């Protein structure tokens, strides 16, 4: 700092002591900010590291100690000791941690109340969702016993209610009907492999399942086993992060489309029609057209029963929502409809008098043991993987939401293991794949405090299976279809999200649209694939069309901002500061090169000034420019008024009008959060090309990983190394170095 600068600084300090705090605050913006230091590039930090500077003296020792500690933990004798076993067991079964701390005074009554209410919901939903899965209705009640018990022991969410769920049941039905359609006309008589004996007969002397139902259940339990194995493997491999690749718009569109398919599949029960088995693309459309053509043949009793129950269910659920604060316990809408509907059906004999279909005999007793068939795994593996991922994505999104609301956390990897254990255990007790249901989980979160409410659920469901189940013989299928549709009203309301997403972020709206209608038109599996591909394409396309900005120095600071957003930011003469607003990868590498040519007016390929872009739309898309003006052939740069063209007394770099003769380009690499092999080859290539054209390129704000990969590439990578003296820790260091190189007078320090 010069003697004149020192005197000015002392005078200003003396004057500031005489000013009030308000006067000092108001004048702060007009004062010169003097920050005196040397200009550094990355070679300085490399030299400091090599000579043992305190900047990085502990780096190597820290890395070594970290690795050694990790090895010691793995090889430590305590990992095989009793304490190590208890630690692993506690992690695998979180109930060991929270059950001894259970607060009977605060949690017992809410858990009892919540357990009774959730159990009441399990009964009609289990019967209805099992019918949706194309399985015997009683199997839906089986999913509320062993899987619920295992999740209570191994799950980390306090409020997730697992069991049957409409979307998963629809996916199970598609697999079951497809596989049974490929089987011989006389399938095995019981769930399990051909060597398994038939389950115990009912009191009437007939087999527990019909041969056709036995074949379908055999596929379902094999599917449950495979889904569970996949989920456990994903949990052990710490693949819980996979849920982050299924965005909320994708899941929302997928579940909405699946809800439409479920409603379409239940209309046949509401109408009392028999629909032929239709598979493949546009199957839902073909089924709907078939039903509309056969409406004159609809069963009047089924239509009246189904519509009345549907309106009643929707009305009672709306009352529960509106008077949630006033009702201590929600109205058990589904149970009321099922009980009253069964009584009316029995009293009026609607099956005999009107031909309205009923569910028929429901066997009572504990869930029969079943042995999954390993011979079917090869046929259903792809379906099992999709179902496993959908179950996880659906469950973790809901459990995470309620965990944040209640102030605790869930472990995605442990959740995967818990879901997998529930599906594996359930497969040996005649269960199909389980998932949470939004309605049950919302009620459990509202009433219960812990997963101990699951004990009440299991006890009540067992009582129903042992004593009450046969009483549902006369329950009309139209009522169960109404229960299914009424539980999907919330998912169907998600169609509103399309408009919301279009206003917030149009690419998300596109993902939602393709996910939803892909499922509706192509089916659940292909529809999910369409949604994932669309989401990935949107990400790649957005990054490949990324914008770049021209940065200027904010007056009297070391800060650089977009010249179109900050009127006080000015470009340094003969130096362009460019920032790409995305990572650098194969999709935008060539576009970034074109951006440098467009910003500087220098085309290293032709060794002359680059012509203006002919496509105004392309120019506007490439460069953020609200004013739309240009100066000197440089798009987006306005002429600087003469009263603003001056040099600050203490500024180290002259601020002047931008000129078309660009001698240096500073690339702000702070946005390069990731870079692939194409990007690593592009940067050295740009340095070489522009150097031949008389323009030097400087890199600023590089991360340590990027510096390592650019300055010391491996011999096999075939990437040209960039010298560290061309890389700088900040934009101002790079601009100052670039300004010096043009032989203009500059001070020896950054100020």
Which DSSP helix (H) or strand (E) runs through 631?
strand 630-631
pLDDT of residue 68: 61
Query: Per-residue DSSP letters for 454-486?
Result: HHHHHHHHHHIIIIIGGGGGG-BHHHHHHHHHH
pLDDT of residue 18: 45
415 pLDDT above the threshold of 70: yes
200 pLDDT above the threshold of 80: no
- ∠ Cα 589 595 598 (to 5°): 150
pLDDT of residue 612: 43
| pLDDT tens digits, one per residue of 513-543 | 999 999 999 988 888 889 989 999 998 888 8
What is the rounded CA–CA span in Å between residue 489 and residue 559? Answer: 53
pLDDT of residue 516: 94
Lowest mean pLDDT among 346-350, 364-368, 459-463, 712-716: 712-716
Lowest mean pLDDT among 59-63, 451-455, 583-587, 730-734: 59-63
Q: pLDDT grade, residue 36 (50/70/90)?
A: low
pLDDT of residue 1: 45
Nearest CA to 607 out of 681, 732, 691 is that of 691
Q: Is the dihedral of CA 612, 618, 620, 624 positive or negative?
A: negative
Q: What is the pTM of this model?
A: 0.73
Q: Which residue has the tokens 């191994």?
A: 154
In this structure, the number of other CB atoms found within 10 A of the CB of residue 209 comes to 24
Give the three-state DSSP class for 330.
coil
Tell me, what DSSP letter sits at residue 101?
T
287 pLDDT above the threshold of 60: yes
288 pLDDT above the threshold of 90: yes
Lowest mean pLDDT among 24-38, 524-538, 575-589, 665-679: 24-38
pLDDT of residue 751: 44
Lowest mean pLDDT among 50-59, 229-238, 260-269, 505-514: 50-59
Of 201 and 145, which is predicted with more confidence?
Answer: 145
Lowest mean pLDDT among 58-62, 85-89, 307-311, 444-448: 58-62
Tell me, what DSSP letter sits at residue 81?
S
| pLDDT tens digits, one per residue of 583-610 | 888 888 888 888 888 888 888 877 544 4
Compute the chain's Rg from CA coordinates. Answer: 35
Three-state secondary structure readout of 596-629: HHHHHCEECCCCEECCCCCCHHHHHHHECCCCCC
pLDDT of residue 361: 85
Q: What is the mean pLDDT of residues 486-509?
A: 91
Of 580 and 181, which is predicted with more confidence?
Answer: 580
Q: pLDDT grade, residue 22 (50/70/90)?
A: very low
Q: pLDDT grade, residue 424 (50/70/90)?
A: very high
Of 117 and 19, which is predicted with more confidence?
Answer: 117
Report the phi/psi class of residue 570: left, alpha or beta, with left for phi > 0 and alpha for psi in -120 to 50. beta
pLDDT of residue 636: 38
pLDDT of residue 38: 74
The phi and psi torsions of 306 (rounded to 5 degrees) equal -65, -45
pLDDT of residue 65: 64
Please give the C-alpha separations between residue 260 and each of 38, 253, 333, 485, in angstroms, as whole numbers. Answer: 66, 11, 22, 9
């Amino acid at each position: 700092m010069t003697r004149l600068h020192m005197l000015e600084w002392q005078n200003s300090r003396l004057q500031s002591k005489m000013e009030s705090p308000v006067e000092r605050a108001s004048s702060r913006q007009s004062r010169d900010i003097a920050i005196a230091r040397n200009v550094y590039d990355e070679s300085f930090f490399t030299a400091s590291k090599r000579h043992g500077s305190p900047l990085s003296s502990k780096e190597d020792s820290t890395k070594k100690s970290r690795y050694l500690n990790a090895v010691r933990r793995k090889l430590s004798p305590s990992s095989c000791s009793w304490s190590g076993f208890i630690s692993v067991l506690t992690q695998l079964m979180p109930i060991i941690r929270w059950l001894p701390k259970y607060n009977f005074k605060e949690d017992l009554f809410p858990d009892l109340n919540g357990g009774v209410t959730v159990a009441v919901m399990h009964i009609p939903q289990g019967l209805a969702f099992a019918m949706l899965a194309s399985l015997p209705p009683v199997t839906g009640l089986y999913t509320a016993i062993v899987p619920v018990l295992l999740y209570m022991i191994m799950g980390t969410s306090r409020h997730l209610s697992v069991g049957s769920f409409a979307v998963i049941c629809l996916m199970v039905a598609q697999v079951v009907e497809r596989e049974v359609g490929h089987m011989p006309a006389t399938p095995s008589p019981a769930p399990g492999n051909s060597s398994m004996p038939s389950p115990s007969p009912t009191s009437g002397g007939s087999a527990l399942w019909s041969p056709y139902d036995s074949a379908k259940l055999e596929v379902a339990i094999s599917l449950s086993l495979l889904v569970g194995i996949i989920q456990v493997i994903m949990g052990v491999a710490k693949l819980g992060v996979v849920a982050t690749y299924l965005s909320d718009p994708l899941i929302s569109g997928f579940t909405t489309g699946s809800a439409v398919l479920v409603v379409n599949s239940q209309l046949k029960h509401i109408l009392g029609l028999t629909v032929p088995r239709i598979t493949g693309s546009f199957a839902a459309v073909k089924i709907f057209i078939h039903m509309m053509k056969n409406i004159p043949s609809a069963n009047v009793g089924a239509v009246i029963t189904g519509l009345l129950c549907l309106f009643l269910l929707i009305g009672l659920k709306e009352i529960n929502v509106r008077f949630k604060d006033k009702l201590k316990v929600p109205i058990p809408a589904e149970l009321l409809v099922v009980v009253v509907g069964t009584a009316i059906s029995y009293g009026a004999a609607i099956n005999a008098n009107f031909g309205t279909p009923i569910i028929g005999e429901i066997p009572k007793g504990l869930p029969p043991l079943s042995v999954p068939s390993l011979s079917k795994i090869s046929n259903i593996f792809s379906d099992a993987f999709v179902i496993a991922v959908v179950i996880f994505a659906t469950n973790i999104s809901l459990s995470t939401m309620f965990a944040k609301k209640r102030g605790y956390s869930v472990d995605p990897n442990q959740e995967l293991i818990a879901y997998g254990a529930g599906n594996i255990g359930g497969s040996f007790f005649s269960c199909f794949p389980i998932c949470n249901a939004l309605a049950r989980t919302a009620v459990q979160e509202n009433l219960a405090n812990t997963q101990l409410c699951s004990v009440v659920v299991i006890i009540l469901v067992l009582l129903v299976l042992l004593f009450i189940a046969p009483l549902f013989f006369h329950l009309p299928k139209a009522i169960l279809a109404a229960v299914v549709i009424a539980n999907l009203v919330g998912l169907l309301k998600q169609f509103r999200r399309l408009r919301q997403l279009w206003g917030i972020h149009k690419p998300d709206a596109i993902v939602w649209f393709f996910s939803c209608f892909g499922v509706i038109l192509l089916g659940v599996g292909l529809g999910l694939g369409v949604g994932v591909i669309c989401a990935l394409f949107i990400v790649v396309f957005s990054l490949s069309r990324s914008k770049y900005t021209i940065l200027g120095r904010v007056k009297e600071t070391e800060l650089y901002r977009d010249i179109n957003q900050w009127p006080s930011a000015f470009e340094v003469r003969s130096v362009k500061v460019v920032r790409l607003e995305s990572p650098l990868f194969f999709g935008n590498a060539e576009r970034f090169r074109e951006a440098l040519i467009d910003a500087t007016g220098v085309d290293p390929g032709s060794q002359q000034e680059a012509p203006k872009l002919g496509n105004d739309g392309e120019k506007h898309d490439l460069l953020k420019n609200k004013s739309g003006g240009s100066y000197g052939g440089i798009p987006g740069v306005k002429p600087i008024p003469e009263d603003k063209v001056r040099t600050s007394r203490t500024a180290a770099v002259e601020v002047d009008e931008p000129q078309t003769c660009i001698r240096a380009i500073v690339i702000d690499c702070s946005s390069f959060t990731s870079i692939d092999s194409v990007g690593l080859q592009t940067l050295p290539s740009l340095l070489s090309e522009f150097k031949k054209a008389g323009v030097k390129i400087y890199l600023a704000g590089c991360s340590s990983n990027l510096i390592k990969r650019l300055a010391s590439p491996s011999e096999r990578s075939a990437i040209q190394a960039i010298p560290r003296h061309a890389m700088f820790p900040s934009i101002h260091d790079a601009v100052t170095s670039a300004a010096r190189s043009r032989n203009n007078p500059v001070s020896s320090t950054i100020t």
